[in-house]
Amino acid sequence: MRQAGRYMEDYRKLRAQFSFLDLCKRPDLATEITVTPVERLGVDAAILFADILLVLEPMGVGLEYAKSDGPKIHRPVRTGVDVDRLVDFNPQEELSYVFDAVRKICAALNGKVPLIGFAGAPFTLASYLIEGGGSRDYRHTKQLIYSDRGAWHALMERLARLLASYLNGQIAAGAQVVQLFDSWVGCMAPEDYRDYVFPYTRLTIASITPGIPVIHFSTGTAGLLKLLREAGGNVIGIDWRVNLDQAWQKIGYDVGIQGNLDPVALYAPSPEIRRRVENILRRAAGRPGHIFNLGHGVLPETPVEHVIEMVRAVHELSMR
Amino acid sequence: MRQAGRYMEDYRKLRAQFSFLDLCKRPDLATEITVTPVERLGVDAAILFADILLVLEPMGVGLEYAKSDGPKIHRPVRTGVDVDRLVDFNPQEELSYVFDAVRKICAALNGKVPLIGFAGAPFTLASYLIEGGGSRDYRHTKQLIYSDRGAWHALMERLARLLASYLNGQIAAGAQVVQLFDSWVGCMAPEDYRDYVFPYTRLTIASITPGIPVIHFSTGTAGLLKLLREAGGNVIGIDWRVNLDQAWQKIGYDVGIQGNLDPVALYAPSPEIRRRVENILRRAAGRPGHIFNLGHGVLPETPVEHVIEMVRAVHELSMR
């Protein structure tokens, strides 16, 4: 998660020369940023360098990646009229720069490791559109659900169809796995998830090119695990707030599981990192279908050496 | 939760005249602020007007309630030396203004409803001391655990003893129930909770005057419920991110449960609020020992009328 990012000097150098959007939109740069950490860290898969909000840009909502504050949507969607006003576009055309990057990355990786494509899930994208950025309480998102259910369902269905098309474009361009990031869905009560999120996550996943494994990721969802699994995905991502063995038991062993190291643990000294890796591997109990990963993205000031040591520990300890 | 607060005009008027610390430190004002919402809302219990960080002020860390930004600790605790430097004080003396308020409030309530006293739990207070305020990732808190376990244990033990003494002072002054707020402990992995938090929450709760019911509150802890229950409390508070019936089954029916309405739901129109109240009551299935409450504090712009309607709905629907 966030293999490339501010914690890497190579990335910071590029970021000083180019805007974040330029890095995403220029396939040569996106390729360099995707491939470099794979070599540097020794990981078993590459993840596309892109951002979950790129799909919102052609909708005409005024997406901006502000320097310090995180992403901003200048014209947030708060009513049914706002939903109707969203620009319809063909992702195969408007987001073709992502597919170009995928093709270039696959060529550069040359089959050494697979490439994971990705998109935000409908709820998480809707929450950005509605809140206009990050949020602590997702008040506006929930208010749209309470006040105009029709508008909510219309927005979520549009997003689901758009995201499936976008992911299928990445797959057609060469991505061998896709990950759906429902990063903020942990703010929802289980019944609200079932009524207002589940149908659209399921629609998205069900519309993905058959045969391509799907990783269904979220955080803060220890109370939603069964519903997440029902919504779909060959692999369910979990964060660190739940024990891996208990989560897997709840989800069922017929799907894989991804996680569950606390990203903050990478600030710890190496023996502590190794101890924590060992703990997680012990909980996975040698079952097939565990993808070792952090529970969320690498944090900005993480020492690169610690990430490398984590990868090494996973490789060494899982060989035993 | 947060019965008195910015969502109430009476409170905003007082807040315009006095600083937040003055409101806490003047027993006449704290009494007025505690008692007014009980009458206005028609709730079945009063909760002391105070703040979980008041106990940190005599420690000499530079506590400030900044106007917009939330509370700040100007000299955060980051090392063992910082822990040793914390000022030792007698809560029975330095926090006597809280006990004076409790006495005044009990006299004003005159037995009509019970008064709930409260304190922050050791982890949540430690996180404020170490981070210097709120945090998204609790990085410094976890780093202290990784880098100087001895300092962490020393800090948590001090806090546990302080908090027990503080709560017992509130009880001696008349509080009939106490609530321990571990608001941010949901950031911890279950094993880290067990090793670094559990012993101190248990110590705090075990040191509370026998016979006084303890409500053990937290948020974002769907993956920690069993451990929270083992740490103690006659009632376990849950937020809205877990179904009440499933949480209660996990926790065990030999303890009570508090919750679990999403505070954002109070922005919804009244029929929707009523539907959600009914849902929660249905999940409680008429068992004794359910305290209806929000899963976290009332949000700033909540319409007071909606809170009143929620209370009315709880009373009406639970009579059936």
> What average pLDDT does this structure show over A71-99?
97
B262 touches chain A (CB under 8 A): yes
Beta strand residue intervals within chain A, DSSP E: 46-47, 63-66, 70-73, 115-120, 177-182, 214-218, 235-237, 256-261, 290-294
A29 touches chain B (CB under 8 A): no
When pLDDT is cut at 50, 70 and 90, the band that residue A28 belongs to is very high
Chain A residues in contact with B268 by the CB 8 A cut-off are 142-143, 146-147
**How far, in Å, CA of A169 to CA of A92, rounded?**
6
Q: B135, B146, B283: best mutation site toward chain A, by most A Cβ within 10 Å?
A: B146
CA B258 vs. chain centroid, Å, equals 12
| Contact between residue B142 and residue B171 where contact means Cβ atoms under 8 Å apart | no
Q: Any bridge partners for residue B71, and if so which?
A: B65
pLDDT value of position A1 = 78
pLDDT value of position B1 = 78
A265 touches chain B (CB under 8 A): yes
Give pLDDT tens digits for B11-30. 999 999 999 999 999 999 99
DSSP state of A299: P
ipTM score assigned to the predicted complex:
0.95
Residue A23 has pLDDT above 90, yes or no: yes
**How far, in Å, CA of B211 to CA of B39, rounded?**
28
With a CB cutoff of 8 Å and minimum separation 6, the contacts of B82 are: B75, B76
A242 touches chain B (CB under 8 A): yes
Give pLDDT tens digits for A165-221. 999 999 999 999 999 999 999 999 999 999 999 999 999 999 999 999 999 999 999
pLDDT value of position B2 = 85
Measured in degrees and rounded to the nearest 5, phi and psi for residue B301 equal -100, 20
Give pLDDT tens digits for B44-69. 999 999 999 999 999 999 999 987 77
Q: A145, A264, A299: best mutation site toward chain B, by most B Cβ within 10 Å?
A: A264
Nearest in space to A271 (alpha carbons), one of A306, A319, A297, A316:
A306
Buried b (16+ CB within 10 A) or exposed e, A142-157: bbbbbbbeebbbebbe
**How far, in Å, CA of B25 to CA of B6, rounded?**
18
**How far, in Å, CA of B230 to CA of B232, rounded?**
5
With a CB cutoff of 8 Å and minimum separation 6, the contacts of A84 are: A154
| A186 contacts B220? CB cut-off 8 A | yes
**How far, in Å, CA of A163 to CA of A305, rounded?**
35
- Chain A: closest CA distance from residue B137 (Å): 7
pLDDT value of position B68 = 74
pLDDT value of position B202 = 98
Measured in degrees and rounded to the nearest 5, phi and psi for residue B192 equal -70, -40
Output the CA–CA distances (angstroms, integers) from residue B261 to A159, B190, B303, in the order listed.
Answer: 28, 24, 16
Q: Any bridge partners for residue B261, and if so which?
A: B294
- Chain B: closest CA distance from residue A16 (Å): 26
Residues A265/A266/A272/A274 CA torsion (nearest 10 deg) = 110
Q: Which residues of A are known catalytic residues?
A: 2, 6, 15, 51, 128
pLDDT value of position A319 = 85
Which tokens hold the place of A70? 């995180």
Which tokens hold the place of B211? 């016979």
When pLDDT is cut at 50, 70 and 90, the band that residue A148 belongs to is very high
Domains and CATH numbers, chain A: 48-237 (3.20.20.210), 258-320 (no CATH)
Cα-Cα-Cα-Cα dihedral sign, residues B59, B61, B62, B63: negative
Side-chain-facing half-sphere of A272: CA atoms under 13 Å: 18
Chain B residues in contact with A246 by the CB 8 A cut-off are 223
Is B138 an active-site residue? no
B9 touches chain A (CB under 8 A): no
**How far, in Å, CA of B120 to CA of B136, rounded?**
18
3-state SS class at B292: strand
pLDDT value of position B194 = 98
B143 touches chain A (CB under 8 A): yes
Q: Which strands, in side-by-side order, build the sheet including A235-237?
A: A46-47, A115-120, A177-182, A214-218, A235-237, A256-261, A290-294
**Nearest-Cα residue of chain A relative to residue B147:** A268
Measured in degrees and rounded to the nearest 5, phi and psi for residue A216 equal -105, 105
> What average pLDDT does this structure show over B173-184?
98
When pLDDT is cut at 50, 70 and 90, the band that residue A67 belongs to is confident
> What average pLDDT does this structure show over A36-45?
96
When pLDDT is cut at 50, 70 and 90, the band that residue B320 belongs to is confident
Which tokens hold the place of B223? 């993956």
Side-chain-facing half-sphere of B137: CA atoms under 13 Å: 18
DSSP state of B69: T
CA A266 vs. chain centroid, Å, equals 19
When pLDDT is cut at 50, 70 and 90, the band that residue B144 belongs to is very high
Return mean pLDDT, chain B.
97
> What average pLDDT does this structure show over A98-107?
98
Give pLDDT tens digits for B271-284. 999 999 999 999 99
Chain A residues in contact with B243 by the CB 8 A cut-off are 190-191, 223
- Residue listed under structure tokens 């899930």: A121
Looking at chain A, the whole-number percentage of residues with pLDDT higher than 90 is 95
B189 touches chain A (CB under 8 A): yes
DSSP labels, A75-121 = S---SHHHHHHSPP--HHHHTHHHHHHHHHHHHHHTTSS-EEEEEE-
Looking at chain A, the whole-number percentage of residues with pLDDT higher than 70 is 100
When pLDDT is cut at 50, 70 and 90, the band that residue B253 belongs to is very high
* Number of CB pairs, chain A paired with chain B, less than 8 A apart: 98
